[in-house]
């Protein structure tokens, strides 16, 4: 499927209001291309963003949108998945649902992801977990999450907490993703966004800039090595893919010892 057809087929992408308007960003301190010199930049980094609330005024969605604006500012291509009609895992036989298929296709398209969940009862929400649970480790020989870079964020209604981001980190490791060191946790989110859903200037916003800048850098840095970093012995063995001494550089280098 070509790019135009793929865009037409995906119907659960959220539009991004005011994509070029970044009033909380102080441009005099910003690198427009933070990954310059770290790896190939001919194609923009492809980033899928997931959020964890279906409320009309959803602070996790607003935070995700701010992250997407920053990523686009840094030269990335972003897609935000709308989970509003995503069924629960195992609710539909064989996961045969268009929202599930689109989520998986978007994950396959991505080379990096951002996960943002509210903290509810000390944990991530069911909406967030359902999206992750719909992403299998192995899907017909394809791996929708393995080897992708990941940034994690959370919003809280009370004081600052890290329960949700800690769980997202655990899930990222389970999904064989490379979670970046930095993270964003926004406390009292109702004070950090204006009536239009835009984030006010604050240390929380500055941290989000740091996180997105780091995600772009690490994604580009890993690009030339992505396939090698996830080349696993157990998978080669299961699939019967023998390593040829003619192509294995390590074997050739040690052959004369």
Q: Which domains does the chain have, with CATH numbers?
A: 3-231 (3.40.50.360)
Coil, strand or helix at 5 = helix
Distance CA 35, CA 149 (A): 14
Strand partners, 153: 116, 184
Tens-binned pLDDT, residue by residue, of the chain (257 aa): 445 445 445 689 999 999 999 999 999 999 999 999 999 999 999 999 999 999 999 999 999 999 999 999 999 999 999 999 999 999 999 999 999 999 999 999 999 999 999 999 999 999 999 999 999 988 877 899 999 999 999 999 988 999 999 999 999 999 999 999 999 999 999 999 999 999 999 999 999 999 999 999 999 999 999 888 888 898 889 888 888 877 665 555 555 55
Rg (CA), the chain: 19
Q: Which helix (H) or strand (E) holds 192?
A: helix 189-192
Report yes or no: 133 and 167 within 8 Å, Cβ to Cβ: no
């Amino acid at each position: 499927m070509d790019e135009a057809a793929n865009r037409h087929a995906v119907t659960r992408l959220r539009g991004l209001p005011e994509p070029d308007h970044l009033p909380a960003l102080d441009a005099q301190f910003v690198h427009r291309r933070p990954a310059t010199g770290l790896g190939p930049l001919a194609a923009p980094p492809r980033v899928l963003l997931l959020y964890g609330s279906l409320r009309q005024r959803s602070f996790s969605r607003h935070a995700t949108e701010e992250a997407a604006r920053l990523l686009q500012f840094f030269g990335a291509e972003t897609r935000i998945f709308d989970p509003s009609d995503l069924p629960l895992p195992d609710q539909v036989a064989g996961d045969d649902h268009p929202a599930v298929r689109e989520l998986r296709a978007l994950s396959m398209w991505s080379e990096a992801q951002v996960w943002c969940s509210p903290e509810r009862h000390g944990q991530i929400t069911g909406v967030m977990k359902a999206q992750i649970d719909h992403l299998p480790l192995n899907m017909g020989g394809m791996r929708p999450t393995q080897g992708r870079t990941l940034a994690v964020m959370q919003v809280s209604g009370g004081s600052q907490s890290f329960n949700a981001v800690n769980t997202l980190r655990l899930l990222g490791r389970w999904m064989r993703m490379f979670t970046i060191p930095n993270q964003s946790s926004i406390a009292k989110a109702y004070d950090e966004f204006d009536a239009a859903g835009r984030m006010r200037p604050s240390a929380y916003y500055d941290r989000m800039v740091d996180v997105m800048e780091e995600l772009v850098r690490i994604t580009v840095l890993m690009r030339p090595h992505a396939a090698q970093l996830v080349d696993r012995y157990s998978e080669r063995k299961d699939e019967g893919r023998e390593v040829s001494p003619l192509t294995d550089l390590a074997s050739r280098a040690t052959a004369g010892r």
